[in-house]
């Protein structure tokens, strides 16, 4: 395949120049959305702190611990998932209209160079935008924490998200759940991390494929299709488990359940990797077949 570094750079500079407003809008939405969530959740923690300081010890059990930032992390994780999905669904935004397709298809660069640029921009660019946004919002969060909360209530959103991403839960809790089986505990955590990361990447690539198929309203249509597929696969999975359960004549022990879960996570990860490769390949093939005029993509 012909890939020229200079052509690649020139195409990238042209794309950033022509679509500067579009990319800036996505970045600003990500940044201000992250900041707004951080400030709103901080205000909620502050109100709980105010309530806790004037309550008796018995009444404290009825209030959510103001030191806990789990709600903030959950909301931010959902928001980042949404923004990364939008980034992935906008990979071929240049092809949304006829004029954009004319410019995209006639530029002096190969299809591979254009595809790699778009793919790197929405993947690396999207993750960097989310990362920088959370760092900036967390800096403001840290300043407000130092002003309002005592030292033992300081919480870093960035570090907490990192712990979730790396899956490093409380070891004492895990030791109780797995009866001190450190070898299985480590394999379980590895399998879980492997499955979560690979399936998340496959989910984003599904929206890339959706944009390669349909240029307009692709995010909404791809989301609907993904929900239908998830429903079908979930039902099929439970039917499969039920059918296996009926065929077993022996008791299912907790150890067998843990091993089964471990194997299931690894299978999910492997399938996700295979699907990711197929979706990247399919997206590229569809991109190379893009036409200026099309009945499907008017």
Residue pair 110/117 in contact by the 8 Å Cβ criterion: no
Residue pair 95/297 in contact by the 8 Å Cβ criterion: yes
Give tens-digit pLDDT for 229-248: 889 988 887 776 666 555 55
Greater confidence, 107 or 2?
Answer: 107
Greater confidence, 15 or 260?
Answer: 15
pLDDT at res. 171: 45
Q: Smallest Cα–Cα separation from 218: which of 114, 101, 24, 85?
A: 85
pLDDT at res. 152: 64
Give tens-digit pLDDT for 245-273: 555 555 565 666 667 777 888 888 899 99
157 pLDDT more than 90: no
User: Which range, of 45-49, 169-173, 286-290, averages the lowest pLDDT?
Assistant: 169-173
Alpha-carbon distance of 190 to 100, in angstroms, equals 44
How far apart, in Å, do the first and last CA atoms of the chain sit?
30
Alpha-carbon distance of 114 to 295, in angstroms, equals 23
Alpha-carbon distance of 164 to 34, in angstroms, equals 18
Residue pair 23/16 in contact by the 8 Å Cβ criterion: yes
| Every domain of the chain and the residues it spans | 1-166, 170-298
Average pLDDT score, the chain:
81
Residue pair 154/51 in contact by the 8 Å Cβ criterion: no
Contacts 24+ apart (CB under 8 A), 48-51: 49/148, 49/149, 49/153
pLDDT at res. 173: 47
Range 95-126 burial, b when 16+ CB lie within 10 A, else e: bbeeebbeebeebebbbbbbbbbbbebbbeeb
Give tens-digit pLDDT for 75-128: 898 999 999 999 999 999 888 888 888 888 888 888 899 999 999 999 999 999
Greater confidence, 233 or 211?
Answer: 211
Alpha-carbon distance of 286 to 281, in angstroms, equals 9
226 CB neighbour count, 10 Å cutoff = 15
**What backbone torsions phi and psi does residue 166 show, to the nearest 5 degrees?**
-85, -10
Alpha-carbon distance of 100 to 107, in angstroms, equals 11
């Amino acid at each position: 395949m012909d890939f020229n570094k200079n052509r690649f750079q020139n195409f990238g500079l042209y794309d950033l120049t022509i679509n500067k407003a579009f990319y800036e809008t996505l970045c600003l939405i990500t940044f201000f959305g992250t900041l707004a969530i951080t400030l709103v959740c901080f205000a909620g923690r502050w109100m709980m702190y105010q309530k806790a300081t004037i309550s008796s010890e018995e009444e404290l059990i009825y209030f959510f611990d103001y030191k806990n930032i789990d709600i903030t992390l959950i909301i931010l994780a959902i928001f980042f998932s949404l923004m990364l999905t939008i980034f992935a669904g906008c990979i071929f935004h240049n092809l949304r209209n006829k004029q954009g397709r004319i410019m995209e298809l006639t530029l002096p660069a190969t299809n591979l160079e254009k595809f790699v640029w778009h793919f790197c921009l929405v993947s690396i660019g999207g993750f960097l935008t989310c990362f920088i946004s959370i760092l900036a919002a967390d800096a403001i969060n840290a300043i407000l924490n130092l002003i309002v909360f005592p030292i033992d209530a300081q919480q870093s959103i960035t570090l907490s998200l990192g712990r979730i991403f790396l899956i490093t839960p409380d070891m004492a809790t895990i030791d109780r759940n797995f009866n001190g089986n450190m070898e299985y505990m480590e394999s379980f955590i590895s399998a879980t991390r492997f499955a979560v990361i690979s399936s998340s990447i496959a989910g984003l690539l599904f929206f890339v494929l959706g944009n390669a198929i349909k240029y307009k309203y692709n995010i909404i249509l791809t989301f609907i299709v993904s929900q239908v597929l998830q429903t079908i696969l979930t039902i099929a999975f439970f039917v499969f488990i039920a059918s296996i359960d009926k065929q077993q004549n022996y008791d299912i022990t907790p150890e067998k359940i843990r091993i089964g879960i471990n194997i299931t996570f690894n299978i999910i990860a492997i399938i996700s990797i295979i699907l990711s490769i197929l979706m990247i390949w399919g997206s590229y093939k569809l991109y190379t077949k893009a036409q200026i005029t099309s009945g499907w993509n008017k």
